[in-house]
Amino acid sequence: MNKASLYQQLKQDIRQGLWPAGAVLNQQKLSDYYQVSRIPVRDALQQLKAEALLVMAGKASLMVPPLTAAEAEELYQIRLQLEPMALRHAFPRLTFSLLGQAEDLLQQLEQDQHLSAADRGALNWQFHLILYQPSNCPHLLRLLHSLHQQVERYLGFQEISLNYANTSHQEHWQLLELLRAQQLDAAVALLKQHIQQAGELLTSHLRQQPA
């Protein structure tokens, strides 16, 4: 378990609820659990903190942040501003090859019935990423990646994940269709609607039964 993989493992374990929202992670506990010294644990923790996947709890301890409707809404609103921008920048350099890759992902996402919520989240982001990659905007992509990772924590609930998936599949196919037909404005409009809808679904769910 080296530095990079410890970071990945911790991130996954947080997503999957091993360290649930509100849990305080101290270095000793983690270094015991993962069988490494505190140094790589510190590194991983700090990186997760920088990505806001952990937050300060008190003066010096780190916590898995609670899930709140307010945060979810904020994250989706930021996505709503940035993803259309990414799509616009990428559009001129989108190739049929890329659209094909995106299509493959969609099919996989639809057909594989027994995917975990985490897997679905990852595939969903890969789909979007393929469309945004050609933007040649490294900072924007890094930022979006970070946002998606934060959002994924909210999709750990199977119920949400399923609802989410069903309503968005159709929109995903439509999006590809519009892009293939060179209908940028329509595609952007659909993307906006898609994000807004997903955000509203999630936040309304969270407000009904707070995590």
Partner DNA sequence: CGCTTGAAATTTGTATACAAATTAATTTAA
Partner DNA sequence: TTAAATTAATTTGTATACAAATTTCAAGCG
CB 210, CB 69: distance < 8 Å: yes
Q: Binding a copy of itself by CB under 8 A: which of 138, 185, 208, 209?
A: 138
Piece of 81-89, 154-162, 172-180, 196-204 that binds a copy of itself (CB under 8 A): 81-89
Q: Binding a copy of itself by CB under 8 A: which of 21, 52, 63, 184?
A: 52
Q: Binding DNA by CB under 7 A: which of 16, 38, 68, 129?
A: 38
Piece of 79-87, 92-100, 171-179, 184-192 that binds a copy of itself (CB under 8 A): 79-87
Piece of 70-78, 94-102, 164-172, 178-186 that binds a copy of itself (CB under 8 A): 70-78
Judged by CB under 7 A, does residue 9 bind DNA? no
Q: Binding DNA by CB under 7 A: which of 8, 37, 136, 166?
A: 37
d(CA 3, CA 40): 5
d(CA 173, CA 181): 12
Sheet strand arrangement including 55-57: 24-25, 61-63, 55-57
Strands 24-25 and 55-57: unpaired
d(CA 76, CA 147): 8
d(CA 160, CA 171): 17
CB 202, CB 72: distance < 8 Å: yes
Q: Binding a copy of itself by CB under 8 A: which of 29, 93, 142, 169?
A: 142
Q: Binding DNA by CB under 7 A: which of 10, 11, 14, 40?
A: 40
Q: Binding DNA by CB under 7 A: which of 9, 21, 23, 27?
A: 27
Q: For DNA, give the closer residue by CB, 3 or 88.
A: 3
d(CA 122, CA 145): 10
Identify what 77 binds: DNA, a copy of itself, none; CB under 5 to 8 Å per kind: a copy of itself
Nearest to 87 by CA among 189, 201, 200: 189
Judged by CB under 8 A, does residue 139 bind a copy of itself? yes
* Count of CB atoms situated within 10 Å of the CB of 186: 15
Interacting residues with DNA (CB under 7 A): 2-3, 6, 25-29, 36-40, 42-43, 58-62
